[in-house]
Amino acid sequence: MASLKEIRNRIGSVQSTQKITGAMKLVSAAKLRRAQNSIIGLRPYSNKLNEILSNISSSIPNKSEMPLFAQREPNRILLIVITSNRGLCGSFNSSITKETQRYIEENYSEQLENNNVDLICIGKKGKEQLEKKYNVVDHYETFIERTQFHPIAEFAETLMDRYINRDYDRIEIIYNRFVNPAVQKIEIEQYLPIVEDDGAEEGQNQLAIDYIYEPSKAELLELLVPKILKTQFFKTILDSVASEHGARMTSMSKATDNAIELLKELRLAYNNARQAAITNELNEIVSGAEALKG
């Protein structure tokens, strides 16, 4: 059995940990509230833009000739992997890196052998893990710390330029989509070329209204597509940030609860050890007194 001093030291250590995890839980809860409001506010705007895009593009027969719609044989692949800059958020980062490895091995093993799979990591943790095995051509940490639209939109524009210049034949994003503070869902979305949902198109065609467009549909599409792609990428960053804070808040909440349970066990063990020490001292006193009588 551990000594009273050892148990006291452990109780002090667990109490310190409990204070830290409790404080981190409160900080993450405050950050989550702001991030959650941002993503919830942006989703209707993003969805409406996508609806407008589908409405216009469904009636244009030659949109495949447009650079961002052009489908090519996927020889050169670029994956955008979004993680966090910090740990202590449960399996938030490890699940993304594991899913990235699985996805590459299952879908792009041939391209990987030919060194035609590149990664851009947004978040420090993803870079640290994935650069050991894959070609990480660039990484960004500020997007996570300061979720401002303009720098993220500029990055999205460079992705469009790389696709138009045929640096890559397919660009995909792997990230955590925010569902609620306790649930994050890993999503793998094709960013470029733009892929439309045939089922959605059919439904929209049935309800299509013959609008008069000014400028023409093609010109309007050229103006809208870059804006929609920038908004879409900004939304994935906000989703990931909200997911990170939700995962960290949940993780710190569990750690705090575990510390409380461990403190109960340690205090019980301390009381038992203290009672045993008192009993031994009493036995020694009684034994000494009996020996003096004899």
For the chain, the structural domain boundaries read 22-251
Contact 120, 175 (CB under 8 A): no
- Residue 76 has what pLDDT? 96
- Residue 175 has what pLDDT? 97
- Residue 184 has what pLDDT? 92
Residue 178 and residue 188: Cα distance in Å, rounded?
14
- Residue 219 has what pLDDT? 81
- Residue 215 has what pLDDT? 77
- Residue 200 has what pLDDT? 45
The reported pTM is 0.84
**Least confident span in 51-65, 147-161, 238-252:** 51-65
The CA distances from residue 8 to 19, 20, 116, 172, 252, in Å, are 17, 19, 58, 53, 24
**Least confident span in 20-29, 149-158, 231-240, 280-289:** 280-289
CA neighbours closer than 13 Å in the CB half-sphere of residue 244:
27
**Least confident span in 12-26, 54-68, 99-113, 254-268:** 54-68
Q: Which of 78, 89, 160, 259 is catalytic?
A: 89
Q: Is 89 among the catalytic positions?
A: yes
Taking phi over 0 as left and psi of -120 to 50 as alpha, with beta for the rest, 22 belongs to alpha
Mean pLDDT score, 242-249:
94
Q: Band of the pLDDT at 29, cuts 50, 70, 90?
A: very high
The overall average pLDDT reported for the chain is 88
Which residue in 195, 160, 203 sits closest to 55, CA to CA?
Answer: 203
- Residue 250 has what pLDDT? 92
Q: Band of the pLDDT at 131, cuts 50, 70, 90?
A: very high
Give the DSSP per-residue string, 99-135: HHHHHHHHH-HHHHHTT-EEEEEESHHHHHHHTTTSE
Q: Band of the pLDDT at 279, cuts 50, 70, 90?
A: confident
Query: How do residues 51-73 score in pLDDT, each as one tens digit?
Result: 888 777 777 777 777 889 888 99
Residue 135 and residue 210: Cα distance in Å, rounded?
48
- With tokens 């990235």, the residue in question is 100
Residue 146 and residue 134: Cα distance in Å, rounded?
27
| Class of the CATH-defined domain 22-251 | alpha beta
- Residue 206 has what pLDDT? 45
- Residue 150 has what pLDDT? 94
Q: Which two tokens stand for residue 211?
A: 């609008």
Query: How do residues 181-240 score in pLDDT, each as one tens digit?
Result: 889 999 999 999 988 665 444 444 444 556 677 777 778 888 889 999 999 999 999 999
Query: How do residues 103-126 score in pLDDT, each as one tens digit?
Result: 999 999 999 999 999 999 999 999
Residue 263 CA from chain centroid, whole number: 32
Taking phi over 0 as left and psi of -120 to 50 as alpha, with beta for the rest, 214 belongs to beta
Q: Which two tokens stand for residue 148?
A: 């401002």
- Share of residues in the chain with pLDDT > 90 (%): 63
Residue 288 and residue 184: Cα distance in Å, rounded?
67
Higher pLDDT, 92 or 211: 92
Residues with Cβ within 8 Å of residue 221, at least 6 apart in sequence: 53, 56, 57, 60, 63, 66
